[in-house]
Amino acid sequence: MKKTLNVVELFAGVGGFRVGLEKADKELFQTVWANQWEPSKKVQDAFNCYNTHFPFSVNCNDDIGKVSNKTFEDMDIDLLVGGFPCQDYSVARSLSKEQGIEGIKGVLFWEIRRIVEVSHPKYILLENVDRLLKSPSKQRGRDFSIMLATFRDLGYIVEWRVINAAEYGTAQRRRRIFIFAYDKSMAYATDQLQKSTSEILLKDGFFASTFPVKEEIYKNRDDKVELPIDLVEISDDFSFNYHTSGIMIDGKIHTMHTEALNPKAIPLKNILQDEAEVDEKFYLSEVAIEKFAYLRGPKKIERTSKEGHKYTFSEGGMSPVDSLDLPGRTMLTSEGTTNRSSHIVEVNGRRRYLTPIECERLNGFPDNWTATMSDRMRYFCMGNALVTNLIEKMGNTIKLIDEQETQNSTQITLAI
C-alpha cells in the first residue's frame, strides 16, 4: 500500500506550499517535481532560493508551457498545488475544431487544466487573491465560473474559501482564496455527498473542518446557481455573485458568506526580532520619517486627467506606525520600497522597517529562508508568498482524508 503522497508544486515561488506540507508531515508529502519561472527576470531569485533548500528534488526553472504532457503522465501525481496568477480566463470556440474551445495563450490556469487532464491527481489545492471571485469587474464571477466548470468537466468536486490568516492563529491579516478539488470517484466524495451542502460548508467539509466557522450565515448571503454546460456560454454571458465560501458538485453551486468561529490572531510584537539583532540600516532617518508622515497623512490634491479634466484626489490618513498589539497588515511585493503600505514599527522610541526575517515570520517561513537574495528581493518574495501555517493546517486535513481513503481501499480489497 502506498505510504506517501506524490506532490507537484506549480508556480512554486520560494516553496510556501512545500514548507507548509512538510510541517504537516514530511514523510507523507513527497514533492516529486516543482516549477518556478519568472520570464521577465534575468536572475531567478525565487527559483535559486527554492533550489537551495530543496536541492535533491526535480526543480524545473523553465516555462511550464514547454513541459510535455508525458512528463506529467509519468509522475503518478496525488496532490497538485500552486499559487497561480489571476488572469483573464475567457475562452472562445476553436477555429480549427468546431466542438473544441481555446483559452487565451499565456494564461497559466490552462496549464493547470492540461496537467490535471493528463495526470488526474486525487487532490488539487490552489491559492489566489480573493478578487478572483469578482473577476472581471464588467462580468463578475465569470473567471471563477470558468475554473469551476473546467474542474467539473474533469471529474472533480470543488470547495473554496476566502481565509484571513490572522483569524486562524497567525500574525498577518492576509486574505486569500484557497481552492480544494477532489476526484468525485473517491470514497471521501461519496461520504461528503451524503451530507447537505450547508453541512459541508458550515461543519463537515474540507475547509469548515480545518478552519471552523460560525453556524450562522453572515447577513443571509447564501445563494445557489447551476453553471451552463458550455464554457463558451459562461465566458460570453454568465455572471454570478460568489461569496467567501462555496462548493461545486456536478456544476451545481452553493455559496455563502461565512465567518471565523473564534478568531485568534497573534500580535505583531510577537514576531519581532530582538532589537540587538536589527541592523542599523533598517531604522528610519529623519528625512524618511518626514516622507512617511506625508505618505500616510490625509491628502486632497488637485489633478488633471489626460483629457484635461481637473479633479481632486482624496486619500484618508493612516497611523504613522503599525500597532504592535494587532496582527500585521498584508505583506505586499512593494514592501522593499518607500511607499504608503510599507510596514513601519516603533520600538524603544525608534522607528524602523520590518526586517526581512520578520517578514518571513509573518508568512511562517524559517528565519533567513530568503537569505540567498538581496533585501529588496526578500521583501518582494515575501509579499508574493503565502502563509505556510495555513497550508500546514490543510495538509493535516488532507492527511486525515487520505488515511480514511487508504482504509476504505484496504477494506474493498479484503472483501474481494
Write out the chain in H/E/C secondary structure. Answer: CCCCEEEEEECCCCCHHHHHHHHHHCCCEEEEEEECCCCCCCCCHHHHHHHHHCCCCCEECCCHHHCCHHHHHCCCCCEEEEECCCCCCCEEECCCCCCCEEECCCCCHHHHHHHHHHHCCCEEEEEEEHHHHHCCCCCCCHHHHHHHHHHHHCCEEEEEEEEEHHHECCCECCEEEEEEEEECCCHHHHHHCCCCHHHHHHHHCHHHHHCCECCCCHHHCEEEEECCCCHHHHHHHCCCCCCCEEEEECCEEEEECCCECCCECCCHHHHCCCHHHCCHHHECCHHHHHHHHHHHCCEEEEEECCCCCEEEEEECCCCCCCCCCCCECCCCHHHHCCCCCCCEEEECCEEEECCHHHHHHHCCCCCCCCCCCCHHHHHHHHHHCCCHHHHHHHHHHHHHHHHHHHHHHHHHHHHC
Indicate whether 46 belongs to any domain: yes
125 and 44 housed in the same domain? yes
Mean pLDDT value across the chain? 93
- Are 112 and 238 part of one and the same domain? yes
Task: Give Cα 341 distance to the centre of its chain.
Answer: 20
Give domain status of residue 404, yes or no: yes
- The mean per-residue pLDDT over the stretch 41-62 comes to 94
For residues 288 and 223, state if they share a domain: no
- Please give the distance of CA 124 from its chain centroid, rounded to a whole number: 12
> Quick check: 101 pLDDT over 60?
no
Rg value, the chain, Cα:
23
- Asked if 292 and 377 sit in the same domain, the reply is yes
pLDDT tens per residue, range 353-388: 999 999 999 999 999 999 999 999 999 999 999 999
Tell whether 268 is covered by a domain: no
- Residues 271-329 have pLDDT tens digits of 999 999 999 999 999 999 999 999 999 988 888 888 888 888 888 999 999 999 999 99
Q: What is the pLDDT of residue 409?
A: 63
How large is the average pLDDT for residues 189-211? 98
In this structure, is residue 186 part of a structural domain?
A: yes
Give pTM, 2 decimals. Answer: 0.93
Confidence of residue 416 (pLDDT cuts 50, 70, 90): very low
Band of residue 87 on the pLDDT scale cut at 50, 70, 90: confident
Q: How far apart are CA 290 and CA 261, in angstroms?
A: 41
Q: Please indicate, yes or no, whether residues 360 and 294 belong to a single structural domain of this protein.
A: yes
What are the residue numbers of the active site?
Answer: 86
Are residues 222 and 159 both part of a single domain? yes
On whether both 188 and 135 belong to a single domain, the answer is: yes
pLDDT at 207 over 70: yes
pLDDT at 407 over 60: yes
Classify residue 374: in a domain, yes or no. Answer: yes
pLDDT score, position 406? 84
Q: What is the CATH number of the domain that holds 297?
A: 3.90.120.10
Contacts of 198 (CB under 8 A, 6+ apart): 254, 256
Average pLDDT over residues 199-203: 98
**Is 286 domain-assigned?**
yes
The answer on 287 and 244 residing in a single domain is: no
Q: Kindly report the CATH number assigned to the domain that includes residue 152.
A: 3.40.50.150
Percent of the chain residues past pLDDT 70, beyond the cut:
94
- Encode pLDDT of 153-198 as tens digits: 999 999 999 999 999 999 999 999 999 999 999 999 999 999 999 9
Residue 96's pLDDT band, with cuts at 50, 70 and 90, is low
Domains of the chain: total: 2
Is it the case that residue 98 has pLDDT exceeding 70?
no
Q: State whether 146 and 243 are in the same domain.
A: yes
Clarify whether residues 248 and 279 are in a common domain. no
CA 331 to chain centre: 13
The grid coordinates listed for 241 are 455573485
Both 241 and 291 in one domain: the answer is: no
Gap between the Cα atoms of 40 and 380, Å rounded: 15
267 belongs to a structural domain: no
* Number of residues in the chain: 416
Q: Is residue 74 part of a domain?
A: yes
CA geometry: angle at 281 spanning 283 and 285, to 5°? 45
Please indicate, yes or no, whether residues 352 and 393 belong to a single structural domain of this protein. Answer: no
The parent domain of residue 285 ranges over: 273-323+332-384
